[in-house]
Amino acid sequence: MVYKESILHVPDNSNVMYVKLIKVLKNKNQHGKIGNDIIVSVQIIKKEEERKINKGDVLSGVIIQTKKRISRKQSGYFLCFNKNCCVVFTKNKTKLTGSRLFVPVPKELRYKNQMKILTIAPCII
Protein backbone atom coordinates (compact mmCIF):
# COMPACT_ATOMS: atom_id res chain seq x y z
CA MET A 1 0.00 0.00 0.00
CA VAL A 2 1.13 3.49 -0.81
CA TYR A 3 0.04 6.44 1.30
CA LYS A 4 -0.02 10.21 0.88
CA GLU A 5 3.44 11.85 0.75
CA SER A 6 5.09 8.57 -0.38
CA ILE A 7 7.99 8.74 -2.81
CA LEU A 8 7.49 6.61 -5.95
CA HIS A 9 10.03 5.54 -8.56
CA VAL A 10 9.22 6.10 -12.26
CA PRO A 11 10.74 3.24 -14.32
CA ASP A 12 10.26 4.54 -17.86
CA ASN A 13 12.25 6.60 -20.35
CA SER A 14 10.62 9.91 -19.48
CA ASN A 15 12.70 12.59 -17.82
CA VAL A 16 11.15 11.94 -14.39
CA MET A 17 13.02 9.85 -11.80
CA TYR A 18 11.02 10.21 -8.54
CA VAL A 19 7.58 11.61 -7.75
CA LYS A 20 5.69 12.33 -4.52
CA LEU A 21 2.13 11.08 -4.11
CA ILE A 22 -0.38 13.88 -3.53
CA LYS A 23 -3.72 12.06 -3.68
CA VAL A 24 -5.23 8.68 -4.51
CA LEU A 25 -8.31 9.13 -6.67
CA LYS A 26 -11.60 7.26 -6.10
CA ASN A 27 -10.51 5.77 -2.78
CA LYS A 28 -12.01 6.73 0.58
CA ASN A 29 -9.18 5.20 2.66
CA GLN A 30 -6.46 7.21 0.82
CA HIS A 31 -4.10 4.28 0.38
CA GLY A 32 -3.13 3.19 -3.09
CA LYS A 33 -2.89 -0.31 -4.50
CA ILE A 34 -1.79 -1.58 -7.90
CA GLY A 35 -3.88 -0.06 -10.67
CA ASN A 36 -5.17 2.96 -8.71
CA ASP A 37 -5.19 6.38 -10.33
CA ILE A 38 -3.10 8.95 -8.48
CA ILE A 39 -2.01 12.59 -8.62
CA VAL A 40 1.74 13.15 -8.19
CA SER A 41 4.28 15.96 -8.00
CA VAL A 42 7.67 15.64 -9.73
CA GLN A 43 10.55 15.60 -7.20
CA ILE A 44 13.71 14.59 -9.11
CA ILE A 45 14.35 14.72 -12.86
CA LYS A 46 17.11 12.81 -14.68
CA LYS A 47 18.57 15.27 -17.17
CA GLU A 48 18.55 19.03 -16.89
CA GLU A 49 18.93 19.55 -20.67
CA GLU A 50 15.67 17.83 -21.65
CA ARG A 51 13.16 19.90 -19.72
CA LYS A 52 9.73 19.04 -21.05
CA ILE A 53 8.76 18.19 -17.48
CA ASN A 54 10.11 20.36 -14.70
CA LYS A 55 10.53 19.78 -10.99
CA GLY A 56 7.32 20.59 -9.12
CA ASP A 57 4.92 19.83 -11.99
CA VAL A 58 1.67 18.17 -11.00
CA LEU A 59 0.79 15.14 -13.15
CA SER A 60 -1.48 12.12 -13.00
CA GLY A 61 -0.33 8.52 -12.88
CA VAL A 62 -1.07 4.88 -12.13
CA ILE A 63 0.58 2.65 -9.52
CA ILE A 64 2.21 -0.39 -11.16
CA GLN A 65 4.31 -1.91 -8.34
CA THR A 66 4.14 -1.89 -4.53
CA LYS A 67 6.22 -3.43 -1.76
CA LYS A 68 3.03 -4.71 -0.14
CA ARG A 69 2.36 -8.23 -1.34
CA ILE A 70 -0.63 -9.15 -3.50
CA SER A 71 -2.42 -12.45 -3.01
CA ARG A 72 -3.63 -14.31 -6.05
CA LYS A 73 -6.39 -16.48 -4.72
CA GLN A 74 -6.82 -18.66 -7.82
CA SER A 75 -3.23 -19.88 -7.92
CA GLY A 76 -2.46 -19.54 -4.20
CA TYR A 77 0.77 -17.54 -4.24
CA PHE A 78 1.86 -14.01 -3.36
CA LEU A 79 3.51 -11.35 -5.48
CA CYS A 80 5.62 -8.47 -4.14
CA PHE A 81 8.17 -6.06 -5.64
CA ASN A 82 11.30 -4.27 -4.39
CA LYS A 83 10.13 -0.69 -5.01
CA ASN A 84 6.97 1.37 -5.13
CA CYS A 85 6.65 2.39 -8.78
CA CYS A 86 4.22 4.35 -10.91
CA VAL A 87 3.78 5.41 -14.52
CA VAL A 88 3.25 9.12 -15.20
CA PHE A 89 0.64 10.51 -17.61
CA THR A 90 -0.01 14.07 -18.75
CA LYS A 91 -2.32 16.24 -16.63
CA ASN A 92 -5.51 15.23 -18.41
CA LYS A 93 -4.40 11.55 -18.58
CA THR A 94 -4.52 11.30 -22.35
CA LYS A 95 -1.03 9.92 -23.07
CA LEU A 96 2.03 8.52 -21.29
CA THR A 97 5.09 10.71 -20.83
CA GLY A 98 7.43 7.80 -21.59
CA SER A 99 7.36 5.32 -24.45
CA ARG A 100 9.05 2.33 -22.77
CA LEU A 101 8.90 0.59 -19.39
CA PHE A 102 11.90 -1.14 -17.80
CA VAL A 103 10.09 -3.27 -15.19
CA PRO A 104 7.57 -6.10 -15.42
CA VAL A 105 3.97 -5.26 -14.58
CA PRO A 106 1.34 -7.46 -12.90
CA LYS A 107 -1.68 -8.75 -14.79
CA GLU A 108 -4.00 -7.07 -12.28
CA LEU A 109 -3.70 -3.95 -14.46
CA ARG A 110 -5.71 -5.76 -17.11
CA TYR A 111 -8.66 -5.99 -14.75
CA LYS A 112 -8.42 -2.23 -14.08
CA ASN A 113 -8.49 -1.44 -17.86
CA GLN A 114 -4.94 -0.03 -18.03
CA MET A 115 -4.19 -1.38 -21.52
CA LYS A 116 -1.85 1.50 -22.46
CA ILE A 117 0.59 0.38 -19.77
CA LEU A 118 0.36 -3.29 -20.72
CA THR A 119 1.23 -2.60 -24.36
CA ILE A 120 4.58 -0.95 -23.54
CA ALA A 121 5.57 -3.34 -20.72
CA PRO A 122 8.47 -5.74 -21.34
CA CYS A 123 6.64 -8.62 -19.65
CA ILE A 124 3.47 -9.28 -17.70
CA ILE A 125 3.63 -11.28 -14.45
Instruction: Report the number of distinct structural domains present in the chain.
Output: 1
In a domain, 113, yes or no: no
Flag whether 81 is in a domain.
yes
Instruction: State pLDDT tens for residues 22-57.
Output: 999 988 888 999 999 999 999 999 887 667 889 999
Over residues 15-23, mean pLDDT: 95
Looking at the chain, the whole-number percentage of residues with pLDDT higher than 90 is 66
DSSP string for residues in the chain: -B-TT-EEE--BSSSEEEEEEEEETT-SS--B-TT-EEEEEEEEES-SS--SS-TT-EEEEEEEE-SS-EEETTTTEEE--SS-EEEEE-TTSSSBS-S-B-S-B-THHHHTT-HHHHHH-S-B-
Question: Quick check: is 123 in a domain?
Answer: no
Model pLDDT, residue 27: 86
Mean pLDDT, all residues of the chain: 91
pLDDT computed for residue 29 by the predictor? 85
By residue range, what is the domain housing residue 90?
Answer: 7-99
Average pLDDT over residues 55-77: 90
CATH number for the domain that contains residue 66:
2.40.150.20
pLDDT of res. 73? 77
Q: What is the pLDDT of residue 52?
A: 82
Overall pTM surpassing 0.85 (yes/no): yes
Mean pLDDT along residues 9-18 = 93
